[in-house]
Amino acid sequence: IDPELRLLLGLLPSRVRAVLEARPDIEQLVEVVMDLGRPPSARFPHGDVDLCPEPMTAQDLDTAVRQVGHFDGDNRAGIDSTLHRISAIRNRGGRVVGLTCRVGRAVPGAAALVRDLVLAGRSVLLLGRPGVGKTTALREVCRIAADEAARRVVVVDTSNEIGGDGDVPHPSIGGARRMQVSRPEAQHAVMVEAVENHMPQVVVIDEISTLAECGAARTIAQRGVQLVATAHGRQLDNVIKNPTLADLVGGIQSVTLGDEEAKRRGVQKSILERAAPPTFDVAVEMEERGRWRVHLDVAAAVDSLLAGGEAAGQVRLLDDSGEV
């Protein structure tokens, strides 16, 4: 078993750990869920697995909590010098009554499908459902940009998910520098600070989710800095319809056409149009591991979707040998 994975397994009660260690697919483990008064379960790519019939006790959870770092305002913690993420559920009194222990891995080649775009200096927005590998891909993007392209890379790491827990970044991000964020709501300020104070050529961010962060991303892009980030949403269409995130792809505005123009276009007089140039050059829909849909021209894709058309994009696949 991988040494870093053993550190995560060390948080678990011995009866739970023994079941996991006996599984042949232990290296594919995604996360372990432990809720007070319920049997623990493990999540694998092929589905959920019950680990043992005995319910978790308050002592089980307290023992695990004592072994991890400090929980931040977003109820996330980590294990020093690893990429694992421990997320807590609390009761009304603030006591931890549930833990989600997600396995963090450094996967060489995780960003192979967009390696050419990163090396070309394109700003890339990664989209996809939770667990599809967005953060894992970001780590590899950091390494490619810092080590292979020899660029100055700064990671804005809100929950220490990209660079791991502790003050020394995990080796998986190569020579990229890492700025930790004290509070999740301060992420947008640290994004701007990174550009103003440290002269990066590339800024990497995990989970852009607020209007302030969208504004900071636009500021960074306008200064000519390459931006690689993730955002909530499985497809480009989800971002367009999200009022908070729409600014990442140019923002949406309602426009009223004259009678002649509406007739010429064959549309209603009131239509939706893109309001400004997109913050990102490229949008990537991570449909599943090894299959990504890449929109090489975000502006054209958004315009097509708003006009009622489709944005087919370019489907990129990894074969069994890891080639694109």
pLDDT tens column, 23-57: 999 999 999 999 999 999 999 988 899 999 999 99
Helix/strand/coil for 28:
helix
Q: How confident is the model at residue 309 (pLDDT cuts 50, 70, 90)?
A: confident
pLDDT tens column, 100-128: 999 998 888 999 999 999 999 999 999 99
DSSP state, residue 294 = E
Q: How confident is the model at residue 277 (pLDDT cuts 50, 70, 90)?
A: very high
Ramachandran region of residue 202, left (φ > 0), alpha (ψ -120 to 50) or beta? beta
Report DSSP letters for 136-196, one per residue.
HHHHHHHHIIIIIS---EEEEESSSTTT-BSSSPPGGGTT-EEEE-SSGGGHHHHHHHHHH
Give the span between the Cα atoms of 39 and 51, in whole angstroms. Answer: 7
Q: Which residue has the tokens 């300020």?
A: 189
- pTM for this predicted structure: 0.86
Give the span between the Cα atoms of 44 and 157, in whole angstroms. Answer: 26
Average pLDDT on 253-264 reads 76
Q: What is the mean pLDDT of the chain?
A: 91
Encoded tokens for 298: 């975000």
Give the span between the Cα atoms of 254 and 267, in whole angstroms. Answer: 13
pLDDT at 120: 96
Q: How confident is the model at residue 225 (pLDDT cuts 50, 70, 90)?
A: very high
pLDDT tens column, 127-167: 999 888 899 999 999 999 999 999 999 999 988 889 998 89
